[in-house]
Amino acid sequence: MKATGSAGRRSFLKGAASLGAGLWAGENLEAYPQNTNTNSKPSELKITDLRIATVGRAPMTCPIIRIDTNQGIYGLGEVRDGASKNYALMLKSRLLGQNPCNVDKLFRRIKQFGGHSRQAGGVCGVEMALWDLAGKAFHVPVYQMLGGKFRDKIRIYADTTESNDPKIFGQRLKARNEEGFTWLKMDLGVNLVANTPGAVTRPAGTSFTYGEPAPGMFTGIEITEKGIGIMADFVGQVREIIGMEVPLSADHFGHIGVNSCIRLGKALTKYNMAWLEDMVPWQNTELLKKISDAVDIPILTGEDIYLKEPFMELCRTHAVDMIQPDLATSGGILETKKIGDGAQEYGVPMVMHFAGSPVSCMANVHCAAATENFLVLENHSVDVPWWGDLVTGIEKPIVNHGFITVPDKPGLGVVLNDEVVKQHLGEPGFFEPTPQWNTDRTNDRTWS
């Protein structure tokens, strides 16, 4: 019995050795992984160029990045809407000659050049393009390189044109729901009651304009009980039209004080809002926690935060109930997945903020597919007729009855439709040469 077993083992090992000799012979090594792109040798791939074409119109312009290589394949990424393309171009000299498949290594080399909000646009756009290149080189979709997917379709919500008439706005939201959107969102700002006598207390001359430099804690603007009642009634009339079943989120509250945020949040409790977004700036962790502890509606922030560490502080302290990274700000595809995975450890779900072209959209889709605690992804362009025509190679319409199908093609899964892109350029130039950025670098070491 023992001899038979030994002979059988020797026979197996001999056969395995013979098989291994065939597999690992030099001429077969590159061909063995059947999912490898036969037009490229990933180990020898090098970055040779970085160029940009900007689509859209101000204030929403989207610089699309193209990273070229020595093997004829390229990767697409995108600088966040409204950010300067120079945030990406300044990184070119730090990427030339590098293997784009070393995505995390290159991200760590350039991430010091990102910052909160739009300043991260270049780093994040380059990171997207590196993943697109790596996926094409190995002939797999990006989500697969992140560990696989949890879902085949990504739930979408879309902003809806505002109206100060709650019945008109409610009908618009109902129409969104009937189009297939299973998550709705509204703007609910102090501007709704700014001109109503007795609705707001504020120092004379203080601006209500959303986006002014001073945050709400420093404006002295507070909403009165009358004003809060009007705003809550506005939401109530909207709820009567759309029903209580569909999630309804709210954003753009304006520059109001923390106490107004709390009183408004309490007044909205009976309408079961899905979340209240960016009530105060994200940096004010203790103030966010004060609001979260006082209000029985989920509090959310995150679209301007760069890298996972600030998100983890918000989650660890439970200063918010949900996080909302913008992948084109937060650090790109892998960093956003890390943010989602880290938040999950604290029991915090992740939604995703997005406004841009289908290139950045697909980066979000792959990340959302690969992150378990993801809920819903924003899209600002569902009413732009040419938006989906910017790319080919993907299921159309891209947003179909409120969902996007996760593509299975290599990389991000889309190809630019050059002619349509040229028709909608936000500035002159279609991936023009950028030699002036080839050598723009300094000593980038961050330690000594």
Q: What pTM was computed for the model?
A: 0.90
Domains along the sequence of the chain with CATH: 42-139+431-437 (3.30.390.10), 153-413 (3.20.20.120)
pLDDT-wise least confident of 4-8, 89-93, 431-435: 4-8
For residue 348, the model assigns a pLDDT of 98
Check residue 73 and give its pLDDT: 96
Q: First CA to last CA across the chain, in angstroms? A: 65
Grouping H, G, I as helix, E, B as strand and the rest as coil, residue 328 is helix
Q: Which residue type does 142 have?
A: V
Residues in a beta bridge with 392 = 415
* pLDDT tens, position by position, 273-293: 999 999 999 999 999 999 999
Q: Which long-range CB contacts under 8 A does 306-312 form with residues at least 24 apart?
A: 306/114, 306/115, 306/116, 306/117, 306/119, 306/120, 306/330, 306/331, 307/111, 307/114, 307/331, 307/335, 308/335, 308/338, 308/339, 308/342, 310/282, 311/339, 311/342, 311/343, 312/339, 312/342, 312/343, 312/346
Strand segments, DSSP code E, in 30-89 are: 47-57, 60-69, 74-78
Secondary structure element (H or E) that encloses residue 299, with its range: strand 299-301
Q: How far apart are CA 387 and CA 229, in angstroms?
A: 39
Residue 443 pLDDT greater than 60, yes or no: yes
Percent of the chain residues topping a pLDDT of 90: 82
Q: Does residue 15 surpass a pLDDT of 90? A: no
At residue 38, the pLDDT reads 52
Judge whether residue 10 has pLDDT over 90: no
From 216-220, 379-383, 431-435, the region with the lowest mean pLDDT: 216-220
40-77 pLDDT, tens digit per residue, is 699 999 999 999 999 998 778 999 999 999 999 999 99
d(CA 33, CA 119): 39
- At residue 17 the predicted structure's pLDDT band, cuts being 50, 70 and 90, is very low
pLDDT digits over 145-159, tens only? Answer: 999 999 999 999 998
Q: How many CA atoms lie within 13 A of 88 on its CB side?
A: 34
Q: What percent of the chain has pLDDT over 70?
A: 90
Mean pLDDT, the chain, rounded, equals 90
Rounded to an integer, the average pLDDT of 221-237 is 97
Does residue 366 have a pLDDT over 80? yes
The partner residues of 250 in beta bridges, in order of sequence, read 186, 276
How far apart CA 417 and CA 414 sit, in angstroms, is 9
Nearest to 149 by CA among 430, 349, 367, 382: 367
Would you place residue 2 in the very low, low, confident or very high pLDDT band (cuts 50, 70, 90)?
very low
Confidence of residue 208 (pLDDT cuts 50, 70, 90): confident
Q: What is the pLDDT of residues 112-129, one digit of tens each?
A: 999 998 889 999 999 999
Do 225 and 191 touch, CB atoms closer than 8 A? no
In the prediction, which pLDDT does 212 show?
60
Sheet with 403-405, side-by-side order of all strands: 184-187, 248-251, 275-277, 299-301, 322-323, 350-352, 374-379, 153-158, 403-405
**Cβ contact 277:251 at 8 Å:** yes
Confidence (pLDDT) at 44: 95
Per-residue model confidence as pLDDT tens digits over 309-347: 999 999 999 999 999 999 999 999 999 999 999 999 999
